[in-house]
Amino acid sequence: MSALDIVIMLLDRARYIYQICIIIYVFMSWLPNVKDSPVGRLFARICEPYLSIFRRLIPPIGFIDLSPILAIIALPFLVDGIILVLRYTIGVFLG
């Protein structure tokens, strides 16, 4: 197993963990006491920078925020793009 394979595996695991964090954060938004707790603020610091990108594209409709759905769908494409760039860059330098 090469170093590139290890990096790809770590990126894939990080994507999965981040998707789980977004899902937990969405469920926490339904419980105001949990969202205002230290754990809720931690999840907000982790998830909000990524979710805010999609909130600019799709603003909340009433009480429904569709940005987490789009964020979860887009995340694998983002990670796959990073992996393709890494493979291409490593391929160019290593021949």
Per-residue pLDDT tens over the stretch 22-41:
999 999 988 888 988 999 99
Which carries the bigger pLDDT value, residue 45 or residue 91? 45
CA distance 54 to 49: 10
Q: Provide the 10 A C-beta neighbour count for residue 43.
A: 21
User: Tokens representing 90?
Assistant: 């490593």
- Tell if the pTM clears 0.85, that is, is over it: yes
- How far is CA 29 from its chain centroid? 17
DSSP state of 63: T
User: For residues 11 and 82, is the Cβ–Cβ distance under 8 A?
Assistant: yes
